[in-house]
Chains A and B, each alone.
Chain A
Amino acid sequence: MRAALCLGLCAGIALCGLARAQDQAAPQDAQAAQGNGNPFKPFDRAAYEAHAQQLGATAEQLAAFGQQIDQLGVGRAGDNLMRAINAGYDAAVKLSEAGDPKAALELSKVLAATEDKTLQGHVRYHLARVFLDGDDPERAVTVLNKYVKEDGNLTPLDDEVVYFYAQSLAEVPMAEEARNLFRAFLEWFPNASERYRATAQQRAQELDGQLDSALHQLADGMKKVGRDLKKQETGKPTQDRQKDFVVKLDELIEMYEEMEKKGGGKPSGNGIPSGPANQSGLVEGEARIGSLEKRANVADRWGNMKDKDREKIESEVRNILPPESRKMLEEYYKKLGTGGNL
């Protein structure tokens, strides 16, 4: 899983023109979209509306889309349009909004049933967020990689995809990559929701701190203890601080080993990972698009379900989904079953 994730992540990061120069399978047309490494073009509303019409959007639905852009933002308006067009998609998104464990299955079924790249992009956005909410950032990254590769520039969700991609990386944790992608998000999407931009700015700064100052902070602490030792202050407070240095050094060693395994090269940055990213807590509201907070604990809900309901979902995963989605969801539900601690 780790190796596969690394390949996917590396592809995504390289696609974004951010990180290591590696031989990646990034779509060349997307990379060439803009000169600053931004693979995303500004949202093409006319093309999106024309495509929605091909999918069956009515004049009323398109008018509602136009009205909602000003009120809700283009991402949520576009998603509402897709939900209005496709009842199955709407039902699956409602499950995800409710934190229902069945959401991943239903979204995957919609994904498997359509060949339309725009709808697939919308579905993948929600599926990634379901995985993220289920404390499964690795799988969220896998899905978002697929979005970037296949669905980018087709939906009004590109900015949110990059935001949640960065958020997923931070939760893996891959601090440096997450920091870079948050910065890219800020550069590439100046008109993104201010809530996302403010949180991205904050997260990038936090990650900066983790990456740049942990060792220096450790050295600062050692300097203070050195002074105390000279004053013969060798009691428990000093000994406890010294023990803490060893703990922090252990964490750093572990982080470097992990980074070397993932990146295959020297570690860059010298921070201690903070573990799962902080929750923004900035936004309230029912709608999922434009909302930054996690949903209710999906693992708890999964555990509270009746056995027969869980077995029904697992059976559908085994028997209905195509192999790629099947494997992903089997692992997802298995992880939910362990409380996310696999």
Chain B
Amino acid sequence: MIKYLQERVNKRTKEYENSVPEALRASEDATAEAAALASKQSRVKDLTRKLAEKLNEENHGAEGGK
């Protein structure tokens, strides 16, 4: 799922780069869209971090159970 979400963010980043010219970047819409894009990237980051922590917990739990 994380991979799928990252691919979606990648696609939207590319679309943003291609569809929003420099002259319009300062507009409210453009900055809001960039913020939304950053938020989606942040969401993927959070999920990745959670997965890392979950795996570490499982790893330590398994070691403790030995």
B38 and A230 form a contact (CB under 8 A): yes
Q: What is the CA–CA distance of A250 and B4 in the complex, to the nearest angstrom?
A: 11
Q: A246-B3, A268-B62, A270-B52 are in contact. Are A238 and B13 (CB under 8 A)?
A: yes
Q: List CB contacts (< 8 Å) of B7-50 with chain A.
A: 7, 9-10, 13-14, 16-17, 20, 25, 30-31, 34-35, 37-39, 41-42, 44-46, 48-49
A98 interface hit (Cβ, 8 Å)? no
B42 proximity list for chain A (CB < 8 A): 222-223, 226
A21 interface hit (Cβ, 8 Å)? yes
Q: What is the CA–CA distance of A249 and B9 in the complex, to the nearest angstrom?
A: 14
B55 and A242 form a contact (CB under 8 A): no
B13 and A246 form a contact (CB under 8 A): no
A266 interface hit (Cβ, 8 Å)? yes
Per-position 1/0 for A286-301, Cβ under 8 A of B: 0000000000000000
Q: What is the CA–CA distance of A212 and B58 in the complex, to the nearest angstrom?
A: 12
Stretch at the interface among A151-159, A213-221, A303-311: A213-221
Q: What is the CA–CA distance of A57 and B42 in the complex, to the nearest angstrom?
A: 71
Q: What is the CA–CA distance of A230 and B30 in the complex, to the nearest angstrom?
A: 10
A48 interface hit (Cβ, 8 Å)? no
Q: Can you list 17 pairs linking A and B with CB atoms under 8 Å apart?
A: A223-B45, A226-B38, A226-B42, A227-B38, A230-B34, A232-B20, A232-B31, A234-B17, A234-B37, A238-B13, A239-B13, A239-B17, A242-B9, A246-B10, A268-B55, A268-B59, A269-B55
B3 and A212 form a contact (CB under 8 A): no
Binding site for A on B (CB under 8 A): 2-3, 6-7, 9-10, 13-14, 16-17, 20, 25, 30-31, 34-35, 37-39, 41-42, 44-46, 48-49, 51-52, 55-56, 58-59, 62-63, 66
B35 and A246 form a contact (CB under 8 A): no
Q: What is the CA–CA distance of A19 and B39 in the complex, to the nearest angstrom?
A: 41
Q: What is the CA–CA distance of A235 and B22 in the complex, to the nearest angstrom?
A: 11
A226 and B7 form a contact (CB under 8 A): no
Question: For chain A, which range describes its interface: under 10, 10 to 19, 20 to 34, or 35 or more residues?
Answer: 20 to 34
A43 interface hit (Cβ, 8 Å)? no
A225 interface hit (Cβ, 8 Å)? yes
Q: Which of A21, A219, A223, A226 contacts B66 (CB 8 A)?
A: A21
A216 and B34 form a contact (CB under 8 A): no
B48 proximity list for chain A (CB < 8 A): 215, 218-219, 222
A216 and B45 form a contact (CB under 8 A): no
Rank and list the top 3 A-B pairs by shortest CB-CB distance, nearest first: A215-B52, A222-B45, A230-B38
